[in-house]
Structure 1
Amino acid sequence: MAEQEQKLWYVLHTYSGYENRVKENLKSRAHSMGMEDYIFDAVVPQEEETETKNGRTKTEMKKTFPGYVLVEMIMTDESWFVVRNTPGVTGFVGSHGAGSKPAPLLSEEVDHILHSMDSTTANYNMDLNIGETVKIVDGAFAGLEGKVTATDDEHGKVKVEVDMFGRLTETELDYNLVQRI
């Protein structure tokens, strides 16, 4: 395979929980081994998550893809060797083994991941109870009140039953579109 002379993003598989350590190890190794012209950046995709339980709001960063690190690099035999042999890296995603080089991420994928990291949109977990009355604050049902019929904390969703045109209708909303009454 001919070596590429353009910097592209690749995905590394790591031991779960070691993503930030791998990121720092990569940056350190790139510097100490004189590979700054080939290994440019390492990113652990994260999102800010806000959770409200018992009246307390807590914000923390959650890894978007646990066990994975993105690395921006020019793929050469030397840079591939340095990255692949960084402590905590178990391999490249998209490599077919037997010494084959991995496939880079598409630019649209990278743009989407990096944009979502920069986004200030947070996931809200409100610790809502089934049967609780909430007010919808935004979207097509804004201003309506309804009863919570189901919650999905993992995906930040809540199902609310509202009275529309004299008929009960269930709708699924993001937590940040409802508020307690």
Structure 2
Amino acid sequence: MSEANWYVVHTYSGYENKVKANIEKMIENRRLQDQILEVSVPMKEVIEVKNGVKKRVQKKMFPGYVLIHMVMNDDVWYVVRNTRGVTGFVGPDSKQPVPLTEAEMRNMGIMKDDIVVDFEVGDTVTVMNGVWENTTGVIKAINPHKQIVTISVELFGRETPVEISFSDVKIQK
């Protein structure tokens, strides 16, 4: 069995979520869970201003496209290609689609490197760089997406939360 890769499927505009639902139904009906691992319509949050009112809304990052993490073979290709709303795979030859590289996935903001840290909430850390250098604090929160920790430091006799980059803290032993 070959390795799973990300492929891009072109759809009719506005049918991305319907195509995703159709493919997921097909996965369930044909028991393809081990070959089609994930179907994604990447979204991003934007702020729209209408009539002077700001509102956060979800927008499709790539209108007209659906990303599929799957093991490419003739059966899976046939199922996806013949799903209602799919116009074809993206690539120079629709019969042999080209998978996205990990670099392309990262550049699109879809796939990020998993960062493993050796600290957790409640640990005492020392700040190594920046304005708070040599300050000691207790980790109150960890945000892996932004790659920051929120530590509690004493400032003017009060506990104050401060956000510090993962790379700027060291666990105190």
The alignment's TM-score, normalised by the length of structure 2, stands at 0.60
Matched letter for residue 83 of structure 1: V
1:11 counterpart residue number: 8
State the distance in 2 between where 1:22 and 1:114 align: 22
- Unaligned segments of structure 2, at least 5 residues: 113-173
Are positions 1:28 and 2:17 aligned together? no
Distance in 1 of aligned mates of 2:3 and 2:88: 21
Structure 1: runs of 5+ lacking an equivalent: 118-181
Q: Which of the numbers 102, 126, 147 marks the counterpart of 1:107?
A: 102
Change (3 A) 1:63 1:116: farther
Corresponding residue number in structure 1 for 2:57: 60
Q: 1:18 to 1:105 in 2, by over 3 A?
A: same
How do residues 160-175 of structure 1 correspond to structure 2 at under 5 angstroms?
none
Q: How does 1:34-53 map to 2 (within 5 A)?
A: 34-53=31-50
Q: Residue 167 of structure 1 aligns with which residue? A: none
Q: What SS class does the counterpart of residue 109 from structure 1 fall into?
A: helix
State how many pairs are aligned: 112
CA 1:38 to 1:24, structure 2 compared with 1: closer, same or farther past 3 Å?
Answer: same
Q: Which amino acid aligns with 1:81?
A: Y
C-alpha distance 64-38 of structure 1, shift in aligned 2 (>3 A): same
Deviation digits for residues 127-155 of structure 1, max 9, x if unmatched? xxxxxxxxxxxxxxxxxxxxxxxxxxxxx
Aligned residues: percent identity?
Answer: 46
Q: Secondary structure in 2 aligned to 1:36?
A: coil
- With 42-51 and 7-16 compared, the bigger mean Cα shift is at 42-51
Shift of 1:14: 0.1
For residues 9 and 53 of structure 1, the distance between their equivalents in structure 2, rounded to whole angstroms, comes to 36
- Please say if 1:83 is aligned against 2:73: no
Q: What is the Cα-based RMSD across aligned positions, in Å?
A: 1.9
Tell me if structure 1 keeps the 8 A contact 2:105–2:111.
Answer: no
CA contact (8 A) 2:42 2:110 kept: no
3-state SS of 1:37 partner: coil
Secondary structure, in 3 states, of the residue corresponding to 2:108?
helix
